Amino acid sequence: MGVIAVLIVIGGFAYIVPVVPTTVQEPYETVETYEEQEPYETIETYEEEEPYETTETYEELEPYNITETYEEQEPYIVEVPYTVEVYVTKTQTVYDLNTTLDAPTSRLEDFSLATDVSCNIYWNCTEEINLFSIMTEETWDSFYHKLVIRLGLPAVRALISGYIVSPETVESILSVLPDLVNKLSDENYYKMDTYGDNTTKHLNAGSYKIFIFKADGSGSLNAYITYDYETTETETQYRTETEYRTVNKTRTVTKYETVEKTRTVTRYRTVNKIRTITKYETVEKTRTVTKYRDVIKRITLFAYLTG
């Protein structure tokens, strides 16, 4: 009863309290349409280059070696003889003596020269020689004649022939020789009372006499007369020449032949394939949304003030 009384009081009061209008946000629900990208799956056909292996035949030049015989001109050295005329210097011996002289003794030799020459006169004795002379034949004849006049014919003949002569004759010869030989002309040669000589003398062409006299003692005598002359000779000489001969040789040569071979190669071909792909489409959808709107409400002044 008390509650009812209160309500009555309030209600009565409400009618008595003034009412105030006010705007408030009032929620409400509405359905709206919107678009959305929605995925979906589809099967698509596409082309692809697919590798595959295949065996192919091809030709190739393949090397191989063979031994071949060939001819070659091979050089070789030969000594080829040939003759030439050369000037040579030769020595001509016109007198050569190697003997033992007993004393008293003499020697009479002769030689001749075909041309004027420069002679090498060499002689050597182990004992002294009283006279070693070379005279022209004309000079010898004169010298011989003077000896005969001075010594007499028998003594001179005995002397020239190599017979033993008396000591008196030897003394006579020794006494007249210096006077006789000192009168010899320059075209003749002589040496007295010495052991030897080695000289060069020009002698004219003609016949010559060699007269040697030794008064005492035994000795070995070596004598020669020579001259040098130039002449030509046929001489065989050799020259080196290169000649050629054909020889057979072998060599290894590389040749080529065409051979067929196979090989595995990778090629490509176009194949059709399928795949599942995800695509998107636009779909319209609806949704319930809460919105707000202004509404005018009437409230008591008491509620407005306390509210």
Determine the average pLDDT of the residues in 286-300: 83
Cα 93 from Cα 89, distance rounded (Å): 13
Q: What is the token pair recorded at 207? A: 């016949």
What is the structure's pLDDT at 167? 84
Determine the average pLDDT of the residues in 3-29: 63
Sign, CA dihedral 52-57-63-67, equals positive
**C-alpha distances in Å from residue 43, one per residue of 166, 191, 240, 267:** 171, 152, 100, 28
Q: Among all chains, which residue has been given the structure tokens 């004795």?
A: 125
Q: What is the pLDDT of residues 66-119, one digit of tens each?
A: 999 988 999 999 999 989 999 999 999 999 999 998 878 889 999 999 999 999
pLDDT band, residue 56 (cuts 50/70/90): confident
- pLDDT of residue 6 exceeding 60: no
Q: Which of 276, 275, 269 is nearest to 48 (CA)?
A: 269
Cα–chain center distance at 11: 143
Q: What is the pLDDT of residues 190-211, one digit of tens each?
A: 999 999 999 999 999 999 999 9
What does the CA dihedral 88, 94, 98, 102 come to, rounded to 10 degrees? -160
- Count helices and strands in the chain by DSSP H and E runs: 5, 6
- pLDDT of residue 20 exceeding 50: yes
Cα 227 from Cα 92, distance rounded (Å): 5
User: Does the pTM of the predicted model rise above 0.85?
Assistant: no
- pLDDT of residue 7 exceeding 50: no
> CATH assignment of 86-234, given 3.40.50.11690, 3.30.1490.20, 2.60.120.380, 1.10.275.10?
2.60.120.380
- pLDDT of residue 279 exceeding 70: yes
What is the structure's pLDDT at 297? 79
Sign, CA dihedral 139-145-149-154, equals positive
Cα 197 from Cα 222, distance rounded (Å): 11
Q: Which of 30-34, 39-43, 162-166, 236-240 has the lowest mean pLDDT?
A: 162-166
- pLDDT of residue 13 exceeding 50: no
DSSP string for residues in 239-250 = EEEEEEEEEEEE
Cα 272 from Cα 249, distance rounded (Å): 68
Q: Which of 90, 197, 187 is nearest to 138 (CA)?
A: 187
Task: For the chain, give every domain's residue range.
Answer: 86-234
- pLDDT of residue 307 exceeding 70: no
- pLDDT of residue 137 exceeding 80: yes
**C-alpha distances in Å from residue 50, one per residue of 41, 45, 266:** 26, 15, 10
